Amino acid sequence: MDWLPTVQDELGRQGLDAWLVYDFRRSNPVAAPVLGPLLEGNTASRRVFLLVPREGVPTLAVHAIEVKSLRPAPGVNVVSYSSRESLRGVLEAMLKGRSRVAMEYSPAGDNPYVGRVDAGTVEWIRSFGVEVVSSGDVAQVLEVWTPEQLEQHLTAAAGVAAAKDAAFAYLAERARRGEEVRECAVQAVIMRRFADLGLVSATTPNVSFGAHAGDPHYHPIEGVRDAALAPGDVVLIDLWAKVDAKSAPYADVTWMGVDGEPTSELMSVWEAVKGARDAAVAAMRAAYAEGRWPSGGEADRAARAVLEKAGYGDAFTHRTGHSLGKDGPHGVAVHLDDFETSDARALRPGIGVTVEPGAYFQGFGVRSEINVYLTDAGPRVTTELQDELERL
Q: Which domains does the chain have, with CATH numbers?
A: 4-142 (3.40.350.10), 144-391 (3.90.230.10)
Q: How many CA atoms within 13 Å lie on the side-chain side of 186? A: 31
Helices (H) and strands (E) in the chain, counts: 9, 16
**pLDDT class for 112, splitting at 50, 70, 90?**
very high
Q: Identity (one letter) of the amino acid at 31?
A: A
DSSP secondary structure letters along 35-92: HHHHHTT----SEEEEEEESSS--EEEEEGGGGGGSPP-TT-EEEEE-SHHHHHHHHH
Mean pLDDT of all residues in 39-52: 87
Question: Is the pLDDT higher at 25 or at 92?
Answer: 92
Is the pTM value of this prediction over 0.75?
Answer: yes
Q: How many CA atoms within 13 Å lie on the side-chain side of 239? A: 33
Mean pLDDT of all residues in 145-167: 98
Nearest to 32 by CA among 252, 326, 243: 326
Mean pLDDT of all residues in 46-68: 94
Lowest-pLDDT range of 38-42, 97-101, 103-107, 176-180: 38-42
Which tens digit of pLDDT belongs to each residue from 66-99?
888 887 778 899 999 999 999 999 999 999 999 9
Identify the pLDDT of residue 59: 96
Rg (CA), the chain: 24
Q: How many CA atoms within 13 Å lie on the side-chain side of 57? A: 9
Q: How many CA atoms within 13 Å lie on the side-chain side of 235? A: 31
- Give start and end residues of each alpha helix (H) in 178-216: 183-197
